[in-house]
Every structure is written in C-alpha cells, then in structure tokens.
C-alpha cells in the first residue's frame, strides 16, 4: 500500500516532466531541465549520507555527529585526491576512511560508554570543525588538482562497440544518444548527463532499501532499534549491529562529504555548512527509509537549486536571503512531518547488557 | 531529604573537570606536534597572548561575559531537557538588535544620560530578540516535536545569513562605505573597566549577576524547580501537574535571551559596528563551558574564565601564524567528550562500590 503510493507519486512526477519536455517552449524547457540536473547533483550526496543514517537511526542511534563526519570526509577526500594525483576514486576512499575513524570514536562513546548521544554528536561536530580547519591551514598550500568524477557520457563513449551507439560526438565532447530523440532530446540530455557517481549513488540507495527491508541483516538492524532486549535474548549481538550501523553511516557520510568537495573542486573551512544536519532531517522527512530519504533530499536539493532557477529567470534577489532557503525548508519539513512517522522505539536509548 | 555525598564522590566531582582539561590540553599539544609545529613556540605564543601583560589579561577577561552568557543559553535549556545548540544564532539576533539600538536610538531624541538609557534599551532589545529566536525552536519542539538540535542549527545559519543581508550591499542597514557593515555605534560600554587600556567592560559584572540569577532561579524558585523536574523526567512532571510545554517554551526563551545578551556584551564592548560573522564561534564555546562547569553556576563561571584564556591564547597563536585558532575548537571538543564520558567512569565507580558493600555485608 505504502509502496504503491510512492510509485504513483513517482509516476506522476515522471509524466509531468515528460509533458513539460514535449509541450513547453524551448527556453522554459531548458531552464527546467537544468534545475532538475542541479537538484540531482546537489541531492545525491545528501541522499547517500541520509541512506547511511537511516541504518544508524533504525538501529537506535541518533547520529547528530553526521555533520562532523561529513566534514572530515570532505577534507580528507581533498587531501587524498591531491596525494593520488587527482584520482577521485582513491581520494574518496581516503575520505571515507577518515570519517570511519570519527564514526568509531562516536560509536565507542555512545554504545560502549553509553554517553548522551545528542551531546556527543554535537561534540563530534565541534571536534571535526576544529580538526579539519586546523589541518586545512597547514596543508592549504599543497598543490591541488581536483578533476572530479567523469560524466556518464564520457564513460559510455569508451565502451568498445557500444560507445558509438550510446553517445554522439559533439564539439564539446560526447553527448548521450538521447539527444537524437525528436522534441525532447536536448531536454533529456541536460537531465541525464550527470557525473557517474549520481548513477552509482542511486543504485546504492535502491540496494540499501532492499537490504533493509528484504534481508535478514536488515531485519536485525530494524529489530535492534525497536526491542534490543528481545534481540539479545534471541542471540543477536546488539552492540555488534549498532557498531556496524554507526560505522556504516560514517562511511556513507564521508562519501557524501567527499562528493561535495569533488563537486565544487575545492575545500573551504566548514564546507558542509549544515548539510550533515539536513541529511539527518532527510532521514526523518523520508520516514526512515533509504528511498524516502532520496525523495527528501531531492526536495532539499531543490530548495538550494531554486537559487540557480531564480538567476536563470533573471529575477534579482539578495543572495544572502536566497542562501537561507534550504535551511528554512528543512525546518518546515521537520515540523510538518514529525509525529506522522514512526521513530524507532529504542532511539537514543543506550543498551545495557545484563 | 538531602543526599549525602561521600568524600570519594566529592573528590571525583571536583577532579573530573580538572583531569578533563589537563588531558584535553595534552591532546591539543600532541595535535600541534603531529602537524609538525613547535609545541614550545606555540605554547609561548599562547601564554604571551592570553596572559602576557595586564592589558592582555584584561582583554582575555573581556571574553568572560559573552562566554558566560552563551554557557547559560546552553545550561538553562539543558536543565529543562532541551539541547540548545542555537546560542550562535541567538548571539547574532541579540547583537543585531542591540547594535541597531546603539546606532539609531541616540538619534530618536532619547535622553543620553552618559548613554546609560540607550545601553539599557540595547540590553533589553538584545535579550528579547535572542529570546524570540530561541522561542522559535521551542515552539517547533512543543507543537511539532521537531528535534531542537536540528532546528537550532538551521536557525544559526539563517541568523548568520540574515545578519549578512541586513548589513550587506542591498540591506537596509548598510552604511554605504563599500564594505558590508553597519554604521558605527554611537553608544557603547566604556572600555578599561578595572584594568586601564584593556577591552574589559562592565559586562563582566552583568555576567556574574546572570550566574547569580541562574542559581536563584533554579535552586530557590518554584518555577526553576519545575523546569528541572521537566528536564529530569517529563512524564513524571506531567503526572505531577507541571505544565511541560509552557516550561519548555519559557526555558527556550530564557536560554535564547541569554544567548542574545552574549551578542550584546561582545558587540557593544569589543566591536564598534555590526560586521558579517561577528560571533567568532561564541555560541559553540558556550556548550563546552556549560558542560565543563557541570551546569553549576560557580563551575560555569570558572570554566568561562578558563575558556577565555583558551580563546585568547588560540587567537594569539593564529595571529602569529603558528597554528589555526580553530585548534581551540578541537580542545573544546576533547573537553566535552571527556567530561561526558566521565559519567561512565563515575557510574562504574558507584556500581563497584555497591558490589563491594554487598559483598562485605554478605561476609559478616
């Protein structure tokens, strides 16, 4: 029933977008297409972080340190990319490893030492801000060449045999063969010509949704967040599942931070600017499911992409006021949807094994 | 019935923060060494900058008031069970309101009796606007159940952008100078209080008064007691007929108000006009100050002094280029983590003591 509702909403969105592609005048079409493309680009890192946090929250741990983990992942992705001559793949692995270490500290404090999750989460953020900014000032002068991830069309063009069919060569590089479709070709090309991580990210999120609701492991994660005591009696190691979930959320928030840096191709102090908290909000707004979190992230990403839309339309609005929009939308989403979702029963409650 | 503390308990309570600070400082030094900097030079810059001369000491002490106020912003809310990370935003709102009063009120024909009336107005305006900013998060919590940490963080960013807008090139309070800033304050607190030539102002007295108020309110007044009960166990409070929601709202208003006062005291003491990003992280410093002080008024006062030294010394290191002043944030985080984690040690200590007692009782 629930899934059907999501499917129907998704279908309506797709139909509306197709309708715009078919019938809207060219300049409006392109504006909307680039808005959607921006939205996807901004939303994906958020959604990946949120998908990791879904596991964390489902296991009964409120990870408010996500912001700090993301920030750490961002800095070390930047450093790692530089160390590996601009290779984004190796760079982002370095970033994910660094945020894993921060997540390990968080997990030890809140699971083993049973410390207050909220306060420790806040402390982790302050720690990460302090560490990353201090380290950044030291390595600032390093020679950095950041290339970012390749575009999907570049990758498709390289597939032997199929490359010529899937893409066309244009004067600025390969384009998706979608361009050839009459009327909506260029519209679709703007939307789908994303960097490869957007596609990988969406696949990861769908996979995580499957694992959480259709596998034994997912069931364990969810059960531990509801009735840890019963799980313990059944022979499930509550600590192990919770450690695993927190560490996993650390990996994915680090990945998200890394994607952020590879996207803007530079690091600045506090580059995440609250995105970790917005990801936590996306978990709640997305009703504690990875796919729901993706939907929520698209809403928050849209709130940020609105700035580009307004610029494209030619409206003049003070940028400082525009910058507020994502934060305001996050608050509205939180206020509007909490209480209508089921929060895991053991959320924020430390488990004491007797 | 008053719980009697054994000497062991008292010792642990007093030792915890001292050990925490010691360990945090050592971790900070290790970090400096790991980054390939000379720890000796860094420490030298640190102490020279924070305590090197009477004027330096005065400058350091001028940071005590804003730190005390932001610590109270965190502590008051936490006493009521709410984690207010929004002191930074409340600082901005309080600062903006007070700054505007200090710029525009003297021109409105309000009698300037040595600026005292204007300053009093600025303080009130700062408290109220900071309080209302805090109240937003409180209202979102009691009406919709929205997590206070997330909403206050969002409100921090919104406040910072609001400030940038107000004094920015398109903003209503831009002074037209070519830099994003407001006009200069016509009235501000007189510097050189107690120590001539330093940045110290009378706000440090206001900070001490606020601590006294905090003590009286929470430990001598019915309303404060109610608030603590709500913070301790809101279900039990509800059964006892205590209005949980109105207490939470009041707590967030007061907390925000004190956050606002932090902005007032910093802006009208150490700065001469409203600038973008005028807070320099005071809101987050307050969290560490409050937790290190174990939410106790005397503890908060002492740790505010300690953190003023840390902040001053950290800034001095930053100015000399030895290391980023953000190192102070890392040390703060270590302090918070150590203090919070020490609860586990205390619990274990009590548990072992009980087991030991039970065993001796059995043996007899």
Domains in chain B, please, with CATH?
8-348 (1.10.3470)
Asked if residue A159 and residue A110 are part of one domain, the reply reads no
Domain residues for the domain of A48 are 31-149+198-337
pLDDT surpasses 80 at B149? yes
| Beta carbons within 8 Å of A201's beta carbon, 6+ residues apart | A44, A45, A47, A48, A259
- Count of CB atoms situated within 10 Å of the CB of A10: 12
Q: List CB contacts (< 8 A) between A340 and chain B.
A: none
Q: b/e per residue, B103-137, with b = 16+ CB within 10 A?
A: bebbeeeeeeeebeebbebbbbbbbbbbbbbbbbb
- Count of CB atoms situated within 10 Å of the CB of A142: 10
SS3 track for chain B: CCCCCCHHHHHHHHHHHHHHHHHHHHHHHHHHHHCCCCHHHHHHHHHHHHHCCHHHHHHHHCCHHHHHHHHHHHHHHHHCCCCCCCHHHHHHHHHHHHHHHHHHHHHHCCCCCCCHHHHHHHHHHHHHHHHHHHHHHHHHHHHHCCCHHHHHHHHHHHHHHHHHHHHCCCCCCCCCCCCCCCCECCCCCCCCCCCCCCCCCCHHHHHHHHHHHHHHHHHHCHHHHHHHHHHHCHHHHHHCCCCHHHHHHHHHHHHHHHHHHHHHHHHHHHCCECCCCCCCCHHHHHHHHHHHCCCCHHHHHHHHHHHHHHHHHHHHHHHHCCCCCCHHHHHHHHHHHHHHHHHHHHHHHHHHHHHHHHHHHHHC
Higher pLDDT, A177 or B272: B272
Q: List CB contacts (< 8 A) between A281 and chain B.
A: 150
Asked if residue A189 and residue A315 are part of one domain, the reply reads no
pLDDT confidence of residue A15: 86
Does any domain span residue A344? no
Q: Mutate which of B32, B157, B163, B289 to test chain A, going by most A C-beta atoms within 10 A?
A: B157
Does any domain span residue A25? no
**Token code pair at residue B139:** 């209202």
- Count of CB atoms situated within 10 Å of the CB of A288: 23
pLDDT-above-90 percentage for chain B: 51
- Residue with the two structure tokens 């209480």: A339
Residue from the list A135, A137, A273 with its beta carbon closest to the beta carbon of B157: A273
* Three-class DSSP category at A284: helix
Residue from the list B165, B331, B340 with its beta carbon closest to the beta carbon of A115: B340
Does any domain span residue A7? no
Q: What is the distance in angstroms between the Cα of A345 and the nearest Cα belonging to chain B? A: 15
pLDDT-above-70 percentage for chain B: 96
Per-residue pLDDT of chain A (354 residues; tens, 9 = 90+): 455 777 788 888 888 888 887 887 877 888 888 888 889 999 999 999 999 999 999 999 999 999 999 999 999 999 999 888 888 999 999 999 999 999 999 999 999 998 989 889 999 999 999 999 999 988 887 767 777 788 888 888 777 777 777 777 777 777 777 777 777 777 778 888 888 889 999 999 999 999 999 999 999 999 999 999 999 998 999 999 999 999 999 999 999 999 999 988 888 888 999 999 999 999 988 889 999 999 999 999 998 888 878 877 777 788 888 889 999 999 998 888 766 677 888 888 888 876
Chain A CA closest to residue B322: A138
pLDDT confidence of residue A2: 55
Asked if residue A159 and residue A141 are part of one domain, the reply reads no
pLDDT confidence of residue B212: 96
Model-level ipTM above the cut of 0.95 = no
pLDDT confidence of residue B280: 82
**Token code pair at residue B99:** 């700054």
pLDDT surpasses 70 at B4? no
**Token code pair at residue B32:** 């400096």
Does any domain span residue A223? yes
pLDDT surpasses 50 at B48? yes
The phi and psi torsions of A151 (rounded to 5 degrees) equal -75, 150
> Contact at 8 Å (CB) between B211 and B69?
no
How far is C-alpha A99 from the geometric centre of its chain's CA atoms? 14
Asked if residue A327 and residue A222 are part of one domain, the reply reads yes
CB contact under 8 A, B162 and A130: no
Higher pLDDT, B114 or A186: A186
* Three-class DSSP category at A257: helix
Q: How far apart are CA B279 and CA B16, in angstroms?
A: 30
- Residue with the two structure tokens 């007295």: B205
> Contact at 8 Å (CB) between B232 and B220?
no
> Contact at 8 Å (CB) between B230 and B80?
yes
| Beta carbons within 8 Å of A335's beta carbon, 6+ residues apart | B140, B143, B144, B146, B151
CB contact under 8 A, B327 and A130: yes
Average pLDDT over residues B163-167: 95
Does any domain span residue A18? no
Asked if residue A109 and residue A42 are part of one domain, the reply reads yes
Average pLDDT over residues B190-214: 89
Asked if residue A137 and residue A164 are part of one domain, the reply reads no
pLDDT surpasses 60 at B3? no
Does any domain span residue A245? yes
Q: List CB contacts (< 8 A) between B341 and chain A.
A: 109, 113, 115
Q: How far apart are CA B120 and CA B128, in angstroms?
A: 12
Q: How far apart are CA A57 and CA A47, in angstroms?
A: 15
Work out how many domains chain A is built from and give that number. Answer: 2
Domain CATH for A61: 1.10.3470
- Count of CB atoms situated within 10 Å of the CB of B260: 35
* Three-class DSSP category at A209: helix
pLDDT confidence of residue A339: 60
Asked if residue A297 and residue A180 are part of one domain, the reply reads no
CB contact under 8 A, B83 and A120: no
Residue from the list B284, B332, B344 with its beta carbon closest to the beta carbon of A115: B344
| Beta carbons within 8 Å of B281's beta carbon, 6+ residues apart | B88, B329
End position of a domain, from candidates A161, A193, A225:
A193
pLDDT surpasses 60 at B364? no
**Token code pair at residue A226:** 């509801």
Asked if residue A170 and residue A73 are part of one domain, the reply reads no
Does any domain span residue A342? no
CB contact under 8 A, A119 and B154: no
Q: List CB contacts (< 8 A) between A277 and chain B.
A: 149-150, 153-154
Alpha-carbon dihedral angle through residues A27, A31, A33, A39, given to the nearest 10 degrees: 180
State the Cα angle at A284 between B163 and A330, rounded to 5°: 20
Q: Is A343 on the interface with B (CB under 8 A)?
A: no
A residues 95-124 near B, CB within 8 Å?
A: 109, 113-116, 118-124
> Contact at 8 Å (CB) between B301 and B211?
yes
Q: What is the distance in angstroms between the Cα of A183 and the nearest Cα belonging to chain B? A: 42
Q: What digits encode the pLDDT tens for the residues B293-348?
A: 989 999 999 999 999 999 998 888 888 877 888 888 898 899 889 988 888 888 88
Residues comprising chain A, all counted? 354
Q: How far apart are CA B133 and CA B96, in angstroms?
A: 12
Q: What digits encode the pLDDT tens for the residues A246-270?
A: 999 999 999 999 999 998 888 888 8
Chain A CA closest to residue B85: A122
Residue from the list A120, A320, A334 with its beta carbon closest to the beta carbon of B340: A120
Give B36-44's long-range contacts (Cβ < 8 A, gap of 24+). Answer: B36/A138, B37/A138, B37/B322, B37/B323, B38/B322, B41/B322, B42/B317, B42/B322, B42/B323
Lowest-pLDDT range, A159-168, A263-272, B89-98, B242-251? A159-168
CB contact under 8 A, B329 and A281: no
pLDDT confidence of residue B1: 40
Does any domain span residue A44? yes
Q: How far apart are CA A21 and CA A31, in angstroms?
A: 11
Asked if residue A311 and residue A172 are part of one domain, the reply reads no
Asked if residue A164 and residue A307 are part of one domain, the reply reads no
Average pLDDT over residues B159-181: 92
Asked if residue A183 and residue A309 are part of one domain, the reply reads no
Asked if residue A245 and residue A135 are part of one domain, the reply reads yes
CB contact under 8 A, B35 and A281: no
């Amino acid at each position: 029933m629930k899934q059907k509702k999501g499917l129907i909403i998704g279908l309506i969105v797709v139909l509306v977008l197709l309708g715009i592609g078919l019938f809207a005048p060219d300049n409006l079409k392109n504006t909307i297409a680039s808005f959607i493309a921006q939205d996807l680009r901004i939303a994906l890192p958020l959604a990946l972080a949120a998908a990791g946090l879904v596991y964390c929250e489902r296991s009964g741990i409120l990870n408010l340190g996500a912001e700090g983990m993301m920030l750490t992942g961002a800095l070390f992705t930047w450093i790692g990319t530089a160390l590996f001559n601009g290779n984004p793949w190796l760079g982002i692995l370095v970033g994910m490893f660094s945020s894993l270490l921060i997540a390990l500290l968080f997990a030890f404090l809140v699971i083993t030492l049973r410390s207050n999750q909220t306060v420790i989460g806040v402390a982790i953020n302050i720690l990460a801000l302090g560490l990353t900014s201090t380290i950044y000032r030291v390595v600032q002068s390093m020679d950095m060449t950041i290339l970012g991830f390749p575009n999907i069309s570049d990758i498709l063009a390289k597939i032997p045999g199929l490359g010529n069919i899937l893409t066309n060569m244009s004067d600025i590089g390969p384009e998706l063969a979608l361009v050839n479709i009459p009327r909506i070709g260029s519209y679709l090309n703007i939307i789908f010509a994303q960097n490869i991580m957007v596609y990988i990210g969406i696949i990861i999120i769908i996979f995580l949704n499957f694992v959480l609701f259709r596998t034994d492991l997912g069931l364990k994660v969810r059960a531990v967040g509801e009735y840890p005591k019963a799980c313990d009696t059944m022979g499930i190691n509550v600590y192990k599942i919770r450690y695993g979930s927190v560490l996993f959320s650390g990996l994915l928030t680090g990945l998200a931070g890394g994607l952020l840096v590879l996207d803007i191709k530079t690091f600045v102090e506090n580059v995440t600017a609250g995105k970790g908290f917005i990801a936590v909000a996306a978990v709640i707004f997305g009703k504690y499911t990875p796919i729901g979190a993706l939907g929520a992230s698209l809403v928050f990403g849209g709130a940020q992409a609105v700035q580009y839309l307004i610029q494209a339309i030619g409206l003049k609005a003070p940028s400082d006021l525009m910058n507020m929009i994502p934060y305001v939308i996050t608050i509205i989403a939180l206020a509007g949807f909490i209480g209508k979702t089921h929060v895991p029963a053991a959320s924020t409650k430390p488990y004491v094994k007797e | 019935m008053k719980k009697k503390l054994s000497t062991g308990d008292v010792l642990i309570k007093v030792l915890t923060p001292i050990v925490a600070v010691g360990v945090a400082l050592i971790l900070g030094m290790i970090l400096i060494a790991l980054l390939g900097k000379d720890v000796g030079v860094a420490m030298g810059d640190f102490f020279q900058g924070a305590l090197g001369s009477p004027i330096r000491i005065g400058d350091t002490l001028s940071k005590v008031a804003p730190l005390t106020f932001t610590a109270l912003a965190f502590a008051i809310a936490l006493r009521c069970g709410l984690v207010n990370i929004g002191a930074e935003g409340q600082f901005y709102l309080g600062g903006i309101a007070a700054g505007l009063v200090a710029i525009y009120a003297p021109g409105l024909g309000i009698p300037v009796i040595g600026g005292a009336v204007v300053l009093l107005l600025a303080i009130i305006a700062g408290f109220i606007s900071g309080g209302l900013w805090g109240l937003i998060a409180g209202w979102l919590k009691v009406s919709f159940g929205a997590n206070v940490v997330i909403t206050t963080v969002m409100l921090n960013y919104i406040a910072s952008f609001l400030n940038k807008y107000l004094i920015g090139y398109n903003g209503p309070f831009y002074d037209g100078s070519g830099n994003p800033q407001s006009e200069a304050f016509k009235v501000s607190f007189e510097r050189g209080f107690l120590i001539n030539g330093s940045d110290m102002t009378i706000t440090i007295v206001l900070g001490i008064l606020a601590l006294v108020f905090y003590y009286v309110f929470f430990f001598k007044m019915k309303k404060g007691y109610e608030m603590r009960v709500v913070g301790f166990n809101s279900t039990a409070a509800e059964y006892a007929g205590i209005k949980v929601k109105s207490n939470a709202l009041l707590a967030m208003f007061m907390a925000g108000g004190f956050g606002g006062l932090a902005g007032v005291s910093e802006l009208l003491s150490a700065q001469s006009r409203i600038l973008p990003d005028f807070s320099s992280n005071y809101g987050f410093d307050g969290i560490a100050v409050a937790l290190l002080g174990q939410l106790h008024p005397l503890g908060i006062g002492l740790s505010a002094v300690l953190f003023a030294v840390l902040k001053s010394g950290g800034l001095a290191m930053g100015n000399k280029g030895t290391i980023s002043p953000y190192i102070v944030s890392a040390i703060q985080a270590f302090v918070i983590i150590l203090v919070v984690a020490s609860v586990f040690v205390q619990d274990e200590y009590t548990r072992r003591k009980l087991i030991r007692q039970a065993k001796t009782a059995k043996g007899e």
